Structure 1
């Protein structure tokens, strides 16, 4: 039986320096755009990563785009899911190299994104205007994949939750009036609006289908690792799911009274 570990990266396999004290760091995980260390593994994450690499095929499932993924200081020799699912990389042809985009998935995403490009552009403009009018000092970025708008990300440079909450409320009212049908989620100090049809879950389903086609007689054990509520759908496709303690996913479970049956 082959073990496949589908792993979110940020806040699952490593933390930014802001979230992990220097005394607790076990090794550099990512570099910033200037080539300086930016994210780090804890000792527990290093041990977990080593355990996975010894016994499983590790497939990253991340919101990072290809450029940010390229700054991750880990070698992956199988498939990869990037851009919240908008990009799927096939396995690299040689060890130590990055994979290359899957052409079939590219065509699927191109059609999906073309249909929602204008709604994303207008949503980014609306978020910018709300921030300026309310003096919230938030930053708004329109991210693209394959040359097409893919998602809008709103942050605050000092992670002021009140500013993000106020913008989120007014942005929701605007989207309701505008009738936009985009997917919204909040994660840490980010507000994200993403095209419908773009999801880690959909991309993971595609990758698992490819793996099963490649080895139809090979039984798979699928593990899912993630920290956020946005990771839960792809983790639910797996045989077992693992999440860090005090993650957004765990807090969401504990803060809600769940009916026991």
Structure 2
């Protein structure tokens, strides 16, 4: 039986200096850089050992990062990649998987104007209330993937009305919040759907597979539930909200 590991990246395999247990990044390996090529995220020896074990199996990242941000992670991923919160699936050649491309093209067309309007609405609230937030549509490979809102977590709470209205926009439209990050996700930006799509492809080629789902965030639970086993970091949003 072969093992396939679907894993989140940030706060699972890597984390920012602020979130490192020792508080200063000491004895932590740099595993991601920012746009200025400065150290941005780190991994412990245990995280790196776990990553290498997963990579000895078949490791597929499932991340909110876009391709540019994923390229700044030093960990290598040599097979499929689920990026942009599930909006895009890349094949081994880093091209959008052909069948997924057809789905994405059809479903994303109607959302560009909707996402642009929500960005305008959020920016208006930010200006009116003087919030310490920034907001934009994250696009990748020419497709609008989701809305990213970042800033003070207390200010994000002031957007509850926008978040509720967005979820009512369409069935399976969702809002993801973790710390200082909020994402407004159209229905096609769905990690669970992307993972299940890849599982069908993998099973068609090799029927005897065992799937592990790894993640730290409550929003990861959906795709993890599509796997045979779920693996959760001991320090995570899931362990704090669901297990304690």
1:53 deviates by 2.6
Give the deviation of 1:164 after TM superposition. Answer: 1.4
Which of 209, 215, 227 is 1:226 aligned to?
215
- In structure 1, C-alpha distance between the alignment counterparts of 2:53 and 2:62, rounded to whole Å: 18
Matched, 1:162 2:151: no
The question of 1:253 aligning with 2:242 is answered yes
SS in 1 for 2:126: helix
8 Å CA contact 1:120, 1:150 repeated in 2: no
Query: Aligned to 2:179, which of 181, 185, 188?
Result: 188
> Do the aligned residues in 1 keep the contact of 2:6 with 2:213 (CA within 8 Å)?
yes
CA contact (8 A) 2:150 2:180 kept: yes
Distance change >3 Å, CA 175–CA 183, structure 1 → 2: closer
Partner of 1:10: 10
Rg larger for:
1
1:175 CA displacement: 4.6
Could you report, residue by residue, the CA deviation over 1:61-90 in whole angstroms, capped at 9, with x for unpaired residues?
111111111111012221111111111111
Count of matched residue pairs: 240
* Counterpart contact for 2:17–2:25, Cα < 8 Å: no
- 1:85 paired with 2:86, answer yes
Pick closer, same or farther for the CA change 1:173–1:88 going to 2, 3 Å: closer
SS in 2 for 1:76: coil
Structure 1 residues 36-47: aligned runs within 5 Å: 36-47=38-49
TM-score, length-scaled by structure 1:
0.86
**Pairing 1:72–2:67 present:** no
DSSP 3-state at the match of 1:29:
strand
Q: CA deviation at 1:254?
A: 3.3
Residue 133 of structure 1: how far off its partner (Å) = 0.4
| Partner-residue secondary structure (3-state), 1:101 | coil
Q: Unpaired runs of 5+ in structure 2? A: none
TM superposition shift of 1:141: 1.3
8 Å Cα contact 1:109-1:198 kept in structure 2: no
Q: What secondary structure sits across from 1:5 in the alignment? A: strand
Distance 1:36 1:225 in 2: 27
Q: With the length of structure 2 as denominator, give the TM-score of the two structures.
A: 0.91
**1:22–1:187 distance in 2 versus 1, CA, 3 Å:** same
- Root-mean-square deviation over aligned CA pairs: 1.8
1:51 Cα deviation from its structure 2 partner: 2.5
Tell me the secondary structure at the aligned position of residue 19 of structure 2: coil
